Amino acid sequence: MTILPPNVYQGIVEDTPIGPVRFALSSAGLVVLSLGGDEPRFLADIKRLTKAEPVYSEEKTKDVAQQIEAYFNGELTIFDVKIDWSIMSVFQAKALKAVFSIPYGRYLTYKEIAHEIGQPKAVRAVGRANATNPIPLIIPCHRVVGSDGKLHGYSAAGGIETKAWLLRHEGSWLL
């Protein structure tokens, strides 16, 4: 019996202050989001994580697109988007679920996330889980900072500058 890959739909919000935001979702939820990144890498990430060829669909992706637009317009502070956690390793999903719960305008350290998930010595692993987060913005890894209170890396286009912009946009007093 052959198992077919899921149907995956892609969408894009072209005009945001940090560049285009591309995203893809399956029936299980959001699988990939790319902040200002290049389309070939975005498509490769979808293929790697889902084994599917995405289909562009404004209809299937309009709710997510509207929420992203509302976030950048300052009208939305909590995303109501289903996430497909199955595309992640067990540890990454555990760490990123803790990151997902960080409120808008707040931040935690990698060390605090490690403690929250019951693995206080896994600070570097939490950092790696964040660095490979396939759904930044929705899973707000920009809200995780170093124990020194400084910004340490951000894998989205623009790097730390993008992370800082997102934190400022959310009114974080850190910046």
What one-letter code names the amino acid at 121? Answer: K
Bridge pairing between strands 108-109 and 21-26: unpaired
Per annotation, catalytic residue among 114, 141, 144, 167: 141
Residue identified by tokens 């020194």 is 148
Residue 139 has what DSSP assignment?
S
Report which of 18, 10, 137 is spatially closest to residue 68, judged by C-alpha positions. Answer: 137
95: annotated active-site residue:
no
Write the Ramachandran bin of 32: left for phi over 0, alpha for psi from -120 to 50, otherwise beta: beta
Task: Give DSSP secondary structure letters for 41-85.
Answer: HHHHHHHHHHS---EE-HHHHHHHHHHHHHHHTT--SS----B-G
Question: For the chain, first and last CA: distance in Å?
Answer: 54
- Tell me the two tokens of residue 141: 């890894």
Q: Which residues are catalytic?
A: 141
